[in-house]
């Protein structure tokens, strides 16, 4: 079957990028011919990409990258969009001028749409038609495939819906255009479905909305012998330091040093995600002294990038030197410190207004047991997680799915997540297989007391009898393998793209 996928962004880094890279590979493993449109300029270096298409002087040029042995294949196309990349959340992308969607002029938006519609139409003709197609993101992927005349399913990742469409009525018509034409709409969770239905209330999308969560490569994200941890992590650090072409724009020395620091201690806790206020990193950083005081050998690695990176490090430094007033200033300024409108961090502020006795004294040693790695690639995270006892996903903003939590569970690490949106749905699935004393550690409320709640859950997990933790880890791994495999995701996408949705679960 010929399958066309429109993504429009990169193939490494954050959630939707990883989703499309893994989906394409799963479809190829199932024997399908995949044609993937994105903006991954290093796609030719990916070992699973068989052919590469680029536009030169307005003409599509194809390059064969490797001999075809298996029946399935992946061809990546990189449309020429004039160097301007519209995004949902501001970040830097090497080789692009970046604007958030609301910042685009009408001419810029029209040019972006036209370039991608023309590219999709040409790819479909070049491939001999598409038996199935998938449009990613509520805007602009579905509108692009609709204008190109394809029959398709739409995959709604949370960012376009929550950061662009809902706050900006200008984009409602584009979202309507794409969603109305889609054969089916795939969402990662009930939360995202309800948010979508609220945003587009008059399209009666409930009837064609189906669950389409991301998947996990359980051969890549899998448990390892804990005794290998120190040696394996040092080896990972060495490869990160030497590696070129991965995790665009990162500081390799910083990343390697952070991983070596992580390797030197234990038990290990990790955060993986964008360093923006919405991901709740401030809550975890404030909780860490409470964890470290109870477990002085513990280490925390913060793996991620984003506009709040420097401020997050400054918060840790202020607490470490006992400068409570500066930490409170950061909490009050909040979102304003990542370049957006001012907006306080009320939970952090409330905690810092009355910290527990001995908190500032504990913050200094805790800071020495914490490291920021910056960007890590997805395959590097897969090598990191098996040697973590726990992962914290403290997002304060809705998440379409708890992908990072699922990947951690696949490796046997306890995922401690905020109790809302897609994260809570993942936590409930995992909790069903766990003993009560562990199930209650999986999530916490985003409310006053969240800082203490994170610490209580991490300390509770690290203090449990090893036999209890061992059984819990086995249950986490088994649950992920049963519920979230990429091949299952791929089959669901194909059915949805052809309008065959009766056997796909409703959210």
- Segment 369-398 shows an average pLDDT of 96
Residues 254 and 390 both lie in one domain: yes
Return mean pLDDT, the chain. 95
Rounded-to-integer distance, Cα 340 and Cα 337, Å: 7
pLDDT tens, position by position, 106-145: 999 999 999 999 999 999 999 999 999 999 999 999 999 9
User: Does residue 221 lie within any of the structural domains?
Assistant: no
- Segment 406-431 shows an average pLDDT of 96
Residues 187 and 289 both lie in one domain: no
Residues 173 and 56 both lie in one domain: yes
Residues 161 and 260 both lie in one domain: no
Within 22-83, strands assigned E span 33-37, 51-56, 59-64, 73-78
Count Cα neighbours of 57 within 13 Å in the Cβ-side half-sphere: 1
Q: Which helix (H) or strand (E) holds 389?
A: none
Residues 236 and 142 both lie in one domain: no
Least confident interval from 49-63, 239-253, 331-345, 371-385:
239-253
Residues 397 and 254 both lie in one domain: yes
Q: What local confidence, expressed as pLDDT, does residue 248 receive?
A: 55
Q: What local confidence, expressed as pLDDT, does residue 245 receive?
A: 55
- Per this entry, what is the length of the chain? 507
Residues 172 and 191 both lie in one domain: yes
Residue span of the structural domain in which 274 resides: 231-307+367-483
In the block, residue with structure tokens 């409108």: 341
What is the separation of C-alpha 65 from the centre of its chain, rounded to a whole number of angstroms?
Answer: 28
Inter-residue contact 411 to 384 (CB < 8 Å): no
Count Cα neighbours of 59 within 13 Å in the Cβ-side half-sphere: 3
Inter-residue contact 313 to 379 (CB < 8 Å): no
Q: What local confidence, expressed as pLDDT, does residue 485 receive?
A: 87
Q: What local confidence, expressed as pLDDT, does residue 339 receive?
A: 84
State the CATH number of the domain containing residue 406: 3.40.50.2000
Residues 114 and 235 both lie in one domain: no
> What percentage of the chain reaches a pLDDT higher than 70?
99
Number of domains in the chain: 2
User: Does residue 479 lie within any of the structural domains?
Assistant: yes
Residues 276 and 400 both lie in one domain: yes
- Dihedral angle over CA of 453, 455, 458, 462, nearest 10: -130
- Which residues, in sequence order, are CB contacts of 198 under 8 Å at separation 6+? none
User: Does residue 315 lie within any of the structural domains?
Assistant: no
User: Does residue 31 lie within any of the structural domains?
Assistant: yes
Residues 376 and 475 both lie in one domain: yes
Inter-residue contact 396 to 418 (CB < 8 Å): yes
Q: Which helix (H) or strand (E) holds 402?
A: none
The residues that bridge with 186 in the sheet, in sequence order, are: 155, 210
- Segment 258-283 shows an average pLDDT of 96
Contacts from 330-339 at CB under 8 Å and sequence distance 24+? 330/282, 331/282, 334/277, 335/277, 337/308, 337/311, 338/276, 338/277, 338/306, 338/307, 338/308, 338/311, 339/90, 339/307
User: Does residue 353 lie within any of the structural domains?
Assistant: no
User: Does residue 401 lie within any of the structural domains?
Assistant: yes
Residues 287 and 400 both lie in one domain: yes
pLDDT tens, position by position, 358-378: 999 999 999 999 999 999 998
- Segment 377-404 shows an average pLDDT of 94
pLDDT tens, position by position, 308-363: 999 999 999 999 999 999 999 999 999 999 987 878 999 999 999 999 999 999 99
DSSP state string for 244-268: -SSSTT--HHHHHHHHHHHHTSSSE
User: Does residue 352 lie within any of the structural domains?
Assistant: no
Inter-residue contact 75 to 35 (CB < 8 Å): yes
Residues 463 and 491 both lie in one domain: no
User: Does residue 313 lie within any of the structural domains?
Assistant: no
């Amino acid at each position: 079957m010929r399958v066309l996928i429109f993504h429009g962004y990169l193939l490494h880094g954050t959630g939707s990028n990883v989703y499309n890279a893994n989906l394409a590979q799963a479809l190829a493993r199932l024997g399908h011919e995949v044609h993937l449109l994105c903006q991954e300029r290093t796609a030719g270096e990916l070992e699973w990409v068989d052919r590469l298409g680029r536009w030169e002087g307005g003409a599509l040029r194809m390059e064969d990258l490797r001999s075809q042995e298996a029946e399935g294949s992946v061809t990546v196309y990189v449309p020429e969009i004039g160097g301007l990349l519209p995004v949902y959340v501001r970040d830097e992308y090497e080789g692009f001028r970046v604007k958030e969607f609301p910042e685009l002029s009408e001419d810029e938006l029209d040019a972006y749409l036209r370039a991608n519609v023309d590219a999709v139409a040409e790819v479909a003709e070049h491939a001999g038609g598409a038996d199935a197609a998938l449009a990613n993101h509520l805007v602009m992927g579905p509108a692009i495939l609709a204008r190109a005349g394809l029959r398709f399913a739409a995959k709604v990742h949370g960012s376009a819906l929550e950061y662009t469409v809902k706050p900006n009525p200008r984009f409602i018509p584009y979202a309507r255009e794409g969603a109305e034409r889609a054969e089916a709409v795939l969402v990662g969770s009930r939360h995202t479905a309800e948010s979508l239905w609220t945003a587009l209330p008059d399209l009666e999308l409930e009837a064609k909305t189906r669950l389409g969560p991301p998947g996990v490569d359980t051969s890549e994200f899998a448990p390892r012998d804990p005794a290998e941890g120190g040696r394996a992590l040092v080896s990972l650090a060495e490869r990160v330091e030497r590696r070129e072409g991965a995790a665009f724009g990162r500081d390799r020395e910083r990343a390697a040093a952070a991983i070596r620091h992580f390797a030197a201690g234990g038990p290990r806790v990790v955060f993986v995600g964008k360093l923006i206020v919405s991901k709740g990193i401030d809550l975890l950083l404030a909780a860490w002294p409470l964890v470290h005081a109870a477990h002085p050998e513990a280490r925390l690695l913060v793996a991620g990038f984003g506009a709040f990176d420097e401020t997050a490090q400054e918060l840790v430094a202020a607490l470490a030197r006992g400068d409570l007033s500066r930490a409170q200033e950061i909490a009050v300024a909040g979102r304003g410190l990542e370049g957006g409108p001012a907006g306080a961090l009320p939970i952090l502020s409330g905690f810092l207004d009355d910290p527990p006795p001995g908190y500032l004294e504990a913050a200094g040693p805790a800071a020495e047991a914490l490291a920021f790695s910056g960007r890590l690639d997805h395959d590097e995270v897969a090598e990191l997680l098996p040697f973590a006892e726990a992962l914290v996903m403290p997002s304060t903003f809705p998440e379409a799915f708890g992908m990072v939590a699922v990947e951690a569970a696949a490796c046997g690490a306890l995922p401690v997540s905020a109790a809302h949106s897609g994260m809570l749905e993942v936590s409930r699935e995992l909790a069903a297989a766990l003993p009560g004393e562990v199930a209650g550690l999986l999530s916490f409320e985003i409310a006053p007391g969240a800082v203490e709640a994170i610490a209580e859950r991490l300390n509770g997990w690290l203090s449990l009898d090893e036999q209890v933790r061992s059984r819990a880890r086995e249950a986490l791994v088994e649950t992920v393998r049963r519920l979230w495999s990429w091949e299952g995701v791929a089959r669901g996408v194909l059915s949805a793209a052809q309008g065959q949705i009766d056997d796909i679960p409703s959210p």
